[in-house]
Amino acid sequence: MTYRLLISLIFAGVLLCAPVFVTAQDNTTSDTLPELTIHVVQRGESLFRIALSYGMTVQELAELNGILDVSNLQVGQRLLVPSADSAFAIPQSHTVQPGETLSSIAELYNVEITMLIELNNLPNANQIYPGQELMIVGDIEPTLAETPDIALNPNSAQSVTIPDNGLPTLSTNLHTVQSGETLYRIALQYGLTVPELASANSITDSTRIFVGQQLIIPNANNTPEAALDLPRPIVGLDVKPLIFIEGETGFISLNTEIAATVTGQFLGRDLRSIPLDDNTQHLMFIPIPLFTDEGIYPISFNLSNSDGTQITFAFNMRVAAGGYGIQNLDMSAELQRLLVPAVQEEELNIIQRITSEVTLERYFDGAFSIPAAAAMNGEYGTRRSYNSGPVNGVHSGADFAAAPNAPIFAAASGQVVLADTLNIRGNTVVINHGWGIFTLYAHQNALNVSVGDIVTTGQIVGFAGSTGRITGPHLHWEVWVNGVPVNPLQWTQQIFP
């Protein structure tokens, strides 16, 4: 039975609503009837694209929905389409995985690269990045490709359109948040973790989702295994999260089948590789500095291999905005004196120099502990203006409302590399946790450790106070990765290997 005939039967059945019609069909026919579901038309969609998504022709879709004018489609309009479970539903979206190329993805789905480029509105075959949702339509009837919608939709020069945010609106891979749902519940429903779902949607605060919000569901059920396309001797590539976030820490692990030395570059900075397993595993912690513009950036690696060969390897990473707020601080003239750029720069240079060291020994294990038994009262990443002046500062750490002389605890094990008085941060302790990771504890009344001390998680490093440039007693806590201050809370929530 042809698809067109099936559609005609359903359409006739809907129109006639005649039970006798249904019972008149033989069993083999009714078993193969496609189940139908509703597709809500999204901004940027054309009937051509929707038809393509569901493996139908424009005529079939129009007929099924009684549409006479195929160029007149309204956003929010509800269309009958074959359900995802039906044998006729071919559309899928594919979340690009690290190590995949457009060519390997095309091969996986048995489609043409040019089709993927056109369908996803890509500038060229190299413009894909991990975490990107690509629309895939396989096994297209040859006649469909010869049916340009330009003839049907004369006002549209480009048949396949993508909304402004660059993300496809394929309904099968979007979840619209319902009243009473939490990110946790939604993640559970799709077999994802909260961080996976949050990072796919650039959500920094998992408590802030709203009813009606459309969430991208990465690695949906219909996504097959990754189509890795890695150059030898690379045999494994892990990237976390798939989309990097401004102000946070990214992580990349490369596995090689022979020993190798790995160097690399991202955002104009050298990557620092931690070699493990006789130089066959290479870990890289990648800080994304605050104020990094949202966008797609190349990341490149150079491998010097033990067999004498050298290779370069590169792909794109997307950086999403951190979504940090803006805050005004009132400061006395005395404290403002310390805002002089030279004073700030001098102090930053000291901390940057210390935190750019990479110790190959790792002291930390698991997620970091909160460094004070107090509520957080200042978020990392907040842009700052002073005395209602221009926004020219940023909060490089997280603040805790620790009472004067309350104990301050080491967030993880490590070695004390600074225990001194700084102009802005006051009495400060810096702990080296190894692998280029450091924590900093500022504004203390008194210090309880000295440079060179080995400390363990929870050990008291000092006592809270209000030394340095400060408007009231609190603990200012920073995490530095390879010389860049990053969101400390990420390290309390996420376990890096």
Region near Zn ion per CB under 5 A, out of 139-147, 234-242, 309-317, 392-400? 392-400
CA pair distance 483, 268, nearest whole angstrom: 14
In terms of Cα–Cα distance, which of 138, 288, 154 is closest to 224?
A: 138
Minimum distance, C-beta of residue 377 to Zn ion, in the bound complex (Å): 9
SS3 285: strand
Q: Is 397 exposed, middle or buried (0-12, 13-18, 19+ CB in 10 A)?
A: buried
Nearest residue (CB) to Zn ion, 347 versus 399: 399
User: Is there binding between residue 476 and Zn ion (CB under 5 A)?
Assistant: yes
Region near Zn ion per CB under 5 A, out of 30-38, 109-117, 349-357, 468-476? 468-476
Region near Zn ion per CB under 5 A, out of 148-156, 162-170, 258-266, 390-398? 390-398
Q: Which x/- pattern, by CB under 5 A, does the window 15-34 give for Zn ion?
A: --------------------
State the DSSP H helix or E strand holding residue 53, giving kind and residue range, or none if neither: helix 47-53
SS3 388: coil
In terms of Cα–Cα distance, which of 103, 197, 141, 171 is closest to 4?
A: 141
Residues 95-124 that bind Zn ion (CB under 5 A): none
CA pair distance 491, 471, nearest whole angstrom: 27
Q: What is the DSSP letter of 465?
A: B
Nearest residue (CB) to Zn ion, 100 versus 399: 399
Nearest residue (CB) to Zn ion, 73 versus 376: 376
Nearest residue (CB) to Zn ion, 59 versus 344: 344
Minimum distance, C-beta of residue 309 to Zn ion, in the bound complex (Å): 48
Minimum distance, C-beta of residue 475 to Zn ion, in the bound complex (Å): 8
181-to-47, 188, 204, 207, 266 alpha-carbon distances in Å: 31, 11, 17, 11, 37
Minimum distance, C-beta of residue 305 to Zn ion, in the bound complex (Å): 45
User: Is there binding between residue 443 and Zn ion (CB under 5 A)?
Assistant: no
CA pair distance 314, 128, nearest whole angstrom: 12
Q: Position of tokens 């891979």?
A: 173
Residues 160-179 that bind Zn ion (CB under 5 A): none
User: Is there binding between residue 425 and Zn ion (CB under 5 A)?
Assistant: no
Minimum distance, C-beta of residue 256 to Zn ion, in the bound complex (Å): 41
Nearest residue (CB) to Zn ion, 246 versus 399: 399
Using CB under 5 A as the binding criterion, the count of chain residues that bind Zn ion stands at 3
Minimum distance, C-beta of residue 476 to Zn ion, in the bound complex (Å): 3
Region near Zn ion per CB under 5 A, out of 284-292, 318-326, 422-430, 476-484? 476-484
Nearest residue (CB) to Zn ion, 282 versus 476: 476
Minimum distance, C-beta of residue 458 to Zn ion, in the bound complex (Å): 22
In this structure, what token pair is assigned to residue 175? Answer: 């979840």
Region near Zn ion per CB under 5 A, out of 224-232, 339-347, 352-360, 469-477? 469-477
β-bridge mates for residue 228, sequence order: 100
Residue 283 CA neighbour count, 13 Å, CB half: 19
Residue nearest to Zn ion (CB): 476
Contacts (Cβ under 8 Å, ≥6 apart) of 98: 130, 237, 238, 239, 242, 252, 315
Nearest residue (CB) to Zn ion, 371 versus 397: 397
User: Is there binding between residue 478 and Zn ion (CB under 5 A)?
Assistant: no
- Whether the CB-CB separation of 251 and 243 falls below 8 Å is answered with no
Region near Zn ion per CB under 5 A, out of 32-40, 163-171, 274-282, 394-402? 394-402
Minimum distance, C-beta of residue 423 to Zn ion, in the bound complex (Å): 15
Nearest residue (CB) to Zn ion, 317 versus 398: 398
SS3 134: strand
CA pair distance 216, 133, nearest whole angstrom: 8
User: Is there binding between residue 399 and Zn ion (CB under 5 A)?
Assistant: yes
In terms of Cα–Cα distance, which of 27, 26, 36 is closest to 56?
A: 36
Nearest residue (CB) to Zn ion, 241 versus 397: 397
β-bridge mates for residue 312, sequence order: 302
Sheet of strand 391-394, all strands in order from the earlier edge strand to the far edge: 326-329, 383-386, 391-394
Contacts with Zn ion by CB under 5 A lie at 397, 399, 476
